[in-house]
Amino acid sequence: MNMFVHELKAYRKSMLIWTLSLIGIMILFLSLFPGMSKDIDEFTKVLEGYPEGVRKALGIELESIGTLLGFYSYIFMYITLCGAIQAMILGTSIVSKEVREKTADFLLTKPVTRTQIMTSKLMAAVVSLAVTNVLYLIAANLMAVQMKTEDYSGKLFFMISLTLLFIQLIFLAIGIIVSVVFPKIKAVLSVSLGTVFAFFVIGMLVAAGDDGAKRYLSPFKYFDPKLIIESSKYEASYLAAAIGIIIVSIAVSYAVYRKKDVHAV
């Protein structure tokens, strides 16, 4: 428990910065909605000039961009990008920071198992992401109520917003396995940005073409806001894929970490 609290305190500052950043981006974008919705005809004509593939890659749906949920779906793609970076940095730092700060040997001499160490770190990271999402959800709902120009489904708004947590958990799990397999990572930010942007670009390329099974290649495409709005549910196959990635990544991370030699230098 002391290790969990220590890790939680260590993540406190970055969690606050990322939370405020996500909320700030959301407020900035949503504040543009009332003005855009008033001139939606002209705005749509401009968007029609873009090739269909480009519109799909950018997450723009001409039929719904003038509604709050449609506009939010568009800007949410960039919010999830930032959220994924936060989660990836958290995951990649879990083991590598001990090696980087040369405290791994000291930590492993304590009367705790490696499983307990990993569990404490993982729980602290998950709680940090959960707090970020709770605060974001509260701020997003308050902002949506202020910016709406017509009634919208609060349930669908919540379902779309909740996918931020799902995507963050996926990248947290990916970051953890990277941290365990390559514990001597010195440039955590570079690795995290490279990985997240790679998946993001893949997602854009997949969206620009015929999605199909290629959507499995990018976690960013597992939860399509357009389909959530149309069906009021998540796609079971992609939800299962997300859960599978999280479980397998964490299970492998535990297995490797328990057996792997961890050096402080």
Burial 53-87 (b: 16+ CB within 10 A, else e): eebbbebbbeebbbbbbbbbbbbbbebbbbbbbbb
Helix (H, G, I), strand (E, B) or coil at 109: coil
Which residue in this structure is represented by tokens 């939370």? 19
Confidence (pLDDT) at 106: 47
pLDDT (mean) for 248-261: 86
The residue among 44 and 242 whose pLDDT is bigger is 242
Mean pLDDT is lowest, of 37-41, 130-134, 149-153, 166-170, for 37-41
* pTM score: 0.89
User: Residue 265: pLDDT band by 50, 70, 90 thresholds?
Assistant: very low
**Nearest of 239, 67, 118, 142 to residue 134 by alpha carbon:** 142
Report the alpha-carbon distance of residue 171 to residue 195 in Å, rounded. 9
Which residue in this structure is represented by tokens 């930032």? 82
The amino acid present at 250, given as its one-letter code, is I
